[in-house]
């Protein structure tokens, strides 16, 4: 099989066809488990991978790792990179280089329980995220625009961030040993 962007378009097509023929294959569940260590330090496990998080020193952390909102930006950027690689391979576009810079603003008053200023969001999350995509390819401009639209309309992380998602918190009292 011939690869484009390190991916096999034929294999990608088989995955799409399998989900098309059996939609239940497309209903997936993803998990993560996070453990508080001390201060703002958190250890998360995802499919056997280990991720550390902390807050910057100026927010009371020890600056030993990226913080959760930085991880959200990195997750979006990673999802977009994967989307570009996959969609470009399907469209027959070879990517020579791809960089995505992400930036978002968060108003801290909501997070620390203070009333926000009139020009600040009352909610403790991103009000908007800017994503600058730097893509080097020999593909024609029209094909690159099609790729760009496809990536942004099919990004699971982008879609999750752009809509309201129900979070169902449940406190479970248990005995720790």
Model pLDDT for residues 51-60, shown as the tens digit of each residue: 999 999 999 9
- Residues 76 and 155 placed together within one structural domain of the fold: yes
pTM to 2 decimal places: 0.88
- Residues 60 and 75 placed together within one structural domain of the fold: no
Order of strands, edge to edge, in the sheet holding 33-38? Answer: 33-38, 41-46, 49-53
- Judge whether 91 lies within some domain: yes
**Which residue range forms the structural domain that includes residue 137?**
67-162
CA atoms within 13 A on the CB side of 76: 23
> How large is the average pLDDT for residues 153-165?
94
User: pLDDT by residue (tens digit) across 55-106?
Assistant: 999 999 999 999 999 999 999 999 999 999 999 999 999 999 999 999 998 8
Number of domains in the chain: 2
- Residues 45 and 72 placed together within one structural domain of the fold: no
- Residue 109 sits in a domain whose CATH number is 3.30.300.20
- Among 130, 19, 160, 77, smallest CA distance to 85 is for 77
pLDDT the model gives residue 5 = 95
> Apex CA 103: angle with CA 99 and CA 104, to 5°?
150
Is the pLDDT at 119 greater than 90? The verdict is no
- Judge whether 110 lies within some domain: yes
The mean-pLDDT minimum among 1-5, 88-92, 146-150 falls in 1-5
Cα separation, 10 vs 65, in Å, equals: 39
Burial 32-56 (b: 16+ CB within 10 A, else e): eeeeeeeebbbeeeeeeeeeebbbe
- Residues 80 and 53 placed together within one structural domain of the fold: no
Is the pLDDT at 48 greater than 70? The verdict is yes
- Residues 51 and 89 placed together within one structural domain of the fold: no
Is the pLDDT at 21 greater than 70? The verdict is yes
- Residues 119 and 98 placed together within one structural domain of the fold: yes
């Amino acid at each position: 099989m011939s690869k484009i962007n390190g991916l096999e378009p034929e294999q990608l097509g088989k995955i799409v066809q399998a989900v098309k023929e059996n939609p239940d294959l497309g209903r997936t569940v993803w998990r993560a488990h996070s453990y508080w260590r001390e201060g703002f330090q958190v250890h998360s496990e995802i499919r056997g991978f280990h991720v550390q998080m902390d807050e910057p020193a100026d927010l009371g952390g020890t600056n030993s790792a990226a913080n959760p909102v930085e991880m959200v930006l990195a997750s979006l950027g990673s999802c977009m990179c994967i989307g570009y690689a996959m969609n470009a391979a399907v469209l027959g576009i070879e990517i020579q280089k791809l960089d995505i810079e992400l930036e978002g603003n968060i108003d801290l008053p909501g997070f620390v329980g203070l009333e926000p200023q009139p020009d600040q969001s009352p909610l403790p999350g991103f009000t908007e995220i800017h994503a600058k995509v730097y893509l080097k390819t020999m593909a024609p401009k029209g094909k690159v625009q099609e790729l760009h639209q496809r990536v942004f309309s099919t990004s699971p992380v982008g879609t999750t961030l752009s809509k309201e998602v129900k979070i169902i918190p449940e406190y479970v009292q248990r005995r720790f040993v």
